[in-house]
Amino acid sequence: MLLLVPPVTALVVLWGVAATTSLQDSLRQARAQTFTTKVLEPTDQVIAALQDERRMSLSALGDDATIGRAGFEAQREATDRADAAFRASAEDEEIRGATRPVTRQRMTRFADALGGLEPLRAEIDDRSLGRAEAMARYTEYIEMATEIYDEVHSLDPDLVRQNRVLRTLENARENLSREDALVTGALAAGRLSEEERLQLVEFAGAHRFLYGDAARELQGSYRVRYEQIVSGPEFRRFDELQNRLMQRDSAGGRPGVDIGAWHTATEAVDAQLAALSSEIRKENTRRAGNEANAVLLRLALTGGLGLLAVIAAILFAVRAGRRLIVESRAMAAAVDEFAQQRLPLINERARRGEEPLEELAAGDAPDGGRAGGRAGERGGGRDSGRFRVTEVDQIDRAFAQTKRAVVRAAENEARANRRLNEIFVTLARRNQSLLQRLLRMLETMQRDTEDPDELERLFELDALATRMRRHAEGLVILSGRPSGRTWADPVRMVDVARAAASEVEDYTRVEVVPMGRAALLGPAVADTIHLIAELIENAAVFSPPNTTIRVTGQEVAHGFVMEVEDRGLGIAPDMLAELNRLLATAPELDLDDSARLGLFVVARLSARHGIKVTLRASPYGGITAIALIPRELVARPPERPGGHEVTDTGEWAVAGAAPPAPPVPSAPQPPSGDHLALVTPPPADLPVRRRQTHMAPQLRRTAETREEPSGTGGEERSPEAARDFMSTVQRGWRRGRAADAGDGGP
């Protein structure tokens, strides 16, 4: 839907701009009409009345006998009526929207100035005012009125030009009126002063210049009409009288022009020029009306038809957009359903080698993948041409080809992974076989030597080979295969922990705490030993070499919990949470994260047997790894009739070890240490003297373990049993050497 917003918005904006422009033009024309009726016409009436009153006032001051008192008062009343009409227009609120503030200020100032007409008239009646001063006072009023003409409302440039010509003609008439008033007063007085002659020259030059300027702007019939006026007999007569009055010899004496002839000539010329101005004004008004009608029509077309077009475009856009949205959502749902549901399933089935996969990729989308309309029901199919929007249908076709390519790629990748896993498994199996032979050879060498130093070096080689075997088993486990070592009978948890400790390099730092009589079922022993060994090795690597790694265990409500605690560097909380997620989900091996290979092995083993492994911060600053073994894998020791447990006879030895001999009733077992391996006592034969009976328990136990039980010399120990045996021997030697060093030596 967002794709449709820009074009629809642009269309609405264009319509809004056009409608706004038309509306503004219409409002401008309405303001022009108001300006003409409320401002220009009342102002023209006041100017015309003031011009007539000025001429009559100057004539009266010159004692013109042709001017009657009744006519003089009638003209003043006409001026007062024009003044009242102008004041009403100036106070009308309607002109606020049609005029600028400066125009309203000029109208107000002119209306206030007209209040000074009565004092002016009184001075004229008292003859306390000269003709020149009266002329200036009336002219000042008229000039204030002409300032209101400055504002013009029109959109037609030709109409603007015609209005400008009309204003020029009005200014020319004003200068002609000034000339008429000046000459009338002088002729009535019978004398034209030099100052008045110079003013006459100024006024004549002004109206001649203005009429000439207007004539250059006139076009068509108006220009022809103006040329007829200036070439007519009335204008020639007026021009002749005007030139006679402007001669220098006419100043200072009685003018050689009759006042009646002057009135006749000026009134004829003024009437003709006024008629021309009136025609131009009427034509401008007519054209302004036509322009207003055109603006209103344009507004109707733009606002009405344009609005209908916009609505139709929006409806079409919404319909097309809705269709696009429905099909796009259906397409998106198909892609999402394929990516979230089918692709992982395809990868899993390809990894397992199941067929066919292409039908799975091309199947219909489930109901949950519908994103809108009927198109969503076909969102994941192979068919093409299902979408009405061409672009969406093309995307669907390309997506169908992509799915088939993805399936082929998944099959090829799974096939390559299987081959690679087979190679790894083969190599790991070969290494396991060689390492198993190496461990047996080391066991034989350990039994054949009696040199403690050599035996210690052999034991170190044994531990190193055991680690190598565990790493080889890790490759097998990551490939999804069993490790290869199996136990048939349950093995005590403490022995599982000891076996795990013996598979790490720093086994001497590991302290295995007694864990009770609980045992682990045979099928889970090998993987659990590997799992605990990985946790112990991580603890050893990430902790100082002088610290102890403590392995504890106990039965809980949901099974058996084994804890591996170190006093190392610890892990940041966010990293700890990430590692716990890895252990809980058992993801596929990330080749870029080889540093966590052991954790991937732990996650795979824990998922195989349902063991829950959790990492948490240790009170010592390190990490405590908790492995919760489910109750289904935990075994209890058998009980004798009567509810008593069988004594510790070692019947749960490591798989492959020699069968235990029956217990000796005459010699009690020495108390076991915290992390000493379980040793099976020798079989009970004829009473014999036991060597080192009075030695310390630890040394006596070491000596006893070096004696081969009778009846078992022909059987081989398993590597695990040999490792337990050698661990016990080495601990005894170290304690003996420590005791000799404490005594000061020989």
Locate the DSSP E strands across 569-691: 612-617, 623-630, 634-635
401: which residues sit within 8 A by CB, 6+ positions away? none
The stretch 572-576 carries a mean pLDDT of 91
Above 90 in pLDDT, residue 631? yes
> Higher-confidence residue: 289 or 534?
534
How far apart (Å, rounded) are the C-alpha atoms in residues 633 and 603? 17
Distance CA 270, CA 211 (A): 12
* Residue range 585-622, pLDDT digits in tens: 877 766 555 567 778 888 888 888 999 999 999 888 89
**pLDDT tens readout for residues 419-464:** 777 777 777 777 777 877 888 888 888 888 888 888 888 888 887 8
Instruction: Tell which wins on pLDDT, 674 or 137.
Output: 137
Q: Average pLDDT, stretch 704-713?
A: 39
Q: What is the DSSP letter of 621?
A: S
pLDDT digits (tens, 9 = 90+) for 171-204: 777 778 887 888 877 777 777 777 877 877 887 8
Q: What is the pTM of this model?
A: 0.42
C-alpha distances in angstroms, 238 versus 81, 243, 388? 31, 9, 88
- Residue 368 has a pLDDT of 37
**Averaged over 512-539, what is the pLDDT?**
91
Which residue do the tokens 């610290």 mark? 547
- The angle at the Cα of 124, spanning 86 to 273, to the nearest 5 degrees, equals 55
Q: Is the pLDDT of residue 205 over 60?
A: yes
Per-residue pLDDT at 681: 40
Q: How confident is the model at residue 714 (pLDDT cuts 50, 70, 90)?
A: very low
Lowest mean pLDDT among 402-406, 525-529, 562-566: 402-406
Give me the numbers of helices (H) and strands (E) for the chain, helices first please: 22, 8
Q: Is the pLDDT of residue 656 over 80?
A: no
Nearest by Cα to 599 from 583, 615, 614: 583
The 10s digit of each residue's pLDDT in 222-231 is: 788 878 888 8
Q: List CB contacts of 57: < 8 A, sequence separation 6 or more.
A: 72, 121, 124, 134, 138, 181
In the chain, what are the domains? 6-306 (no CATH), 355-434 (no CATH), 488-639 (3.30.565.10), 655-746 (no CATH)
Summarize pLDDT for 89-145 with one digit per residue, the tens. Answer: 888 887 777 778 888 888 888 888 888 888 888 888 888 888 888 888 888 888 888
Mean pLDDT of 355-372: 50
pLDDT of residue 19 exceeding 50, the answer is yes
| Tens digit of each residue's pLDDT (9 = 90 or more) over 46-104 | 888 888 888 888 878 776 656 677 888 888 899 999 989 988 888 888 777 777 888 88
